[in-house]
Amino acid sequence: MRFVKMFLKNNCKVTLFTTGKDSGGENTLSHPLFELHALGASQGAVKKQNATNTNNSLLTDYNKIQSEDIIMPFTAKGYMTIFRRWAEFTYTLAKSVKLKGKLIKSFDSVFQQADCIIGYEAGLSILAKNIATQYKKPFINKFQGTILAATNRNSLIAKLYYPKLYWGINQSDLCLMVNDGTDGEYWAQHRGCSNIRFRPHGVSSSDYPSSVERAENNKFVIFNNASCSAWKRPDRIVRAMSYLPLEIREKVILKTTYFGPDRESLINFVKDKGLTDCVEFLDNFDHIDSNVALRTADLVIMVNDMSNLGNPILESIFYNTPFITINDGSVTPFADQSEGGVYIDINKDFDKNMAKSISDIVTGKIDTADIRNSLSNNDKVKTLEVEQADEFERISTML
């Protein structure tokens, strides 16, 4: 809802049509300039998960997976996958046709008075553009990155396996594509967008404590903010830790927020590696808890399969917390090695190289004071307020 609040902050009237259901989002917002119209829960409504949810348990044999293996999300191949994806896309198109008639009949005056119409993400962007075209209004589409990065710029695979996402990025007067390292600018251009704002999320510093104090701890704390996504791959850190010399291993503790469906498999993998005393699974952490943990940690490690330019690394840069991540090209434009980044190449030596970097930081061979100083001089990562001011300016200029 931060996007909606940006408009409200600038005294813009917002009428939101949603097919989703978010108990912590639009339903909690009350503002005289805000109207919400729920159109029914969508097929893909997201269910809230927590660490105690075992209904969707999944077994993963981490002993058969190597750190250099790339397991992209939502990339199951085969005719049945194609059929399911196209069935979902066909349903989306049919639903859009049905909704368009209802919306125009019930909300004609809203569309007549609108200064612009915005399609948020791929689900109903085709519907939003159709309405914008009919009413001759400027059309803006907004995306938080794109899973299409998993196709490695193969448009045929994108069309076959991700039709809703591919055609959901439609030509617009302004495309607001978040740079989260998932190649969004390429796909926006590929789909015919020419006016593109391509910037990362800003750090929502106003949500967080202005200062934090580290609790007494005789351990070197490594923080991994993996949430519920299996592609965040905390198993890579566990393998690397198994290569640490015993005297280093006894000094460190990895704290991870991972609560994906195969969490028990990861816990068992930790046991298999003899690292039970070195790894702590954190439960029920919200974004504020995670921010405090990140800022009070000695080191942040993020090793995602699909881009590492997410909030944890952006906040690490912003709050000067040393970090290690994969050398996948997503983060280096914002903090290369000379600016405080420590990067590991994905190859057969990944675990040993990660272990060496951790050891060098723990023992002081890599000076964390130098890293923090380099990061403190980095002004490439902005606050959410700064990014939204720029985003609103781009929208205003277009109108």
3-state secondary structure 168-187: HCCCCCEEEEECCCCCHHHH
Contact 195, 169 (CB under 8 A): no
40-50 exposure pattern, b = at least 16 Cβ within 10 A, e = fewer: eebeeeeeeee
269 and 393: one domain? no
Task: Residue 360: give the domain boundaries.
Answer: 207-376
Residue 339 placed within a domain: yes
What is the pLDDT confidence band of residue 58, given thresholds at 50, 70 and 90?
A: confident
179 and 309: one domain? no
392 and 349: one domain? no
Residue 92 placed within a domain: yes
Contacts of 119 (CB under 8 A, 6+ apart): 125, 126, 127, 128, 129, 139, 140, 141, 142, 170, 172
157 and 129: one domain? yes
pLDDT score of 24 more than 80: no
DSSP string, 74-102: T---SHHHHHHHHHHHHHHHHHHHHHHHH
Contact 311, 323 (CB under 8 A): no
CATH number of 36's domain: 3.40.50.2000
140 and 116: one domain? yes
Sign of torsion, CA 153 155 160 166?
A: positive
Report the domain count for the chain.
2
Tell me what the mean pLDDT of segment 61-87 comes to: 88
**Max Cα distance, the chain (Å):** 71
Residue 54 placed within a domain: no
243 and 298: one domain? yes
Q: Which residues pair with residue 299 across a beta bridge?
A: 222
For 77, phi and psi rounded to 5 degrees? -105, 165
108 and 212: one domain? no
32 and 163: one domain? yes
Helices 235-242 and 263-272: crossing angle in degrees, nearest 10, is 0
Q: Name the token pair of 180.
A: 């989260």
State how far the Cα of 380 lies from the Cα of 394, in Å rounded to an integer. Answer: 19
What is the residue type of 173?
D
265 and 296: one domain? yes
Per-residue pLDDT at 351: 98
What is the number of other CB atoms lying within 10 angstroms of the CB of residue 3?
Answer: 15
Residue 61 placed within a domain: no
pLDDT score of 55 more than 60: no
Q: Name the token pair of 329.
A: 């090209």
223 and 249: one domain? yes
39 and 187: one domain? yes
This prediction has a pTM of 0.90
Per-residue pLDDT at 295: 97
Residues 25-52: tens digit of each pLDDT? 555 789 999 999 988 654 443 333 343 4
Residue 326 placed within a domain: yes
Residue 65 placed within a domain: no
Per-residue pLDDT at 8: 97
- 83, with CB counted inside 10 A (0-12, 13-18, 19+), is exposed
Residue 151 placed within a domain: yes
Residue with tokens 């899973």: 147
Per-residue pLDDT at 40: 67
119 and 240: one domain? no
Residues 149-175: tens digit of each pLDDT? 989 999 999 999 999 999 999 999 999
Residue with tokens 């280096």: 332
Residue 94 placed within a domain: yes
